[in-house]
Chains A and B, each alone.
Chain A
Amino acid sequence: KAGVTQTPRYLIKTRGQQVTLSCSPISGHRSVSWYQQTPGQGLQFLFEYFSETQRNKGNFPGRFSGRQFSNSRSEMNVSTLELGDSALYLCASNPTGGREKLFFGSGTQLSVL
């Protein structure tokens, strides 16, 4: 089985722009969650989706949004980018929707200039 696929791998944007990141989970996995990783704050939970429904949301501003499609693929969007949004964005999938044994993609490294 192919692993979790995230695209693009690297992204450079300027302040004020918006960005969309994509995640394809492992085939058969219905749960997708997103995490932001920065040197200062570490790994922080963004959202969790299961069967196209957002089940949980972390403590991030409304500029961060996401969705999940019927094929379980997920996208997250960040609008009005700020310098502090520069981070590695990681997507993880799980077959059952729980929080046990997440399978992570390689991430999208976003740089905001």
Chain B
Amino acid sequence: AQSVTQLGSHVSVSEGALVLLRCNYSSSVPPYLFWYVQYPNQGLQLLLKYTTGATLVKGINGFEAEFKKSETSFHLTKPSAHMSDAAEYFCAVSESPNAGNMLTFGGGTRLMVKP
């Protein structure tokens, strides 16, 4: 069975500071990994994904994540936080490929950006 752990349910950074949101997963097979972002009162939006190939993945809004198999991690980073980055972020894992494209989500990390 696969699982996802997001360390820190709340993360606070200053505007312009580095954003680092942590995600560790467990999977018995090579995983597909995802980060989603949820703005207040909205649905989830795909930020980036790792399937195969390059382990450093770039997404929208300046975010990127690196798949590290040895550490079973897929941490999300952004060099400089903007106020508009304040949202909740979800990491998800999928066994690749699988019937039904099933995803397992982490508990989420709420990012707060201070002016």
- A and B interact physically: no
Which residues in B have some Cβ–Cβ distance to A below 8 Å? Answer: none
Which residues in A have some Cβ–Cβ distance to B below 8 Å? Answer: none
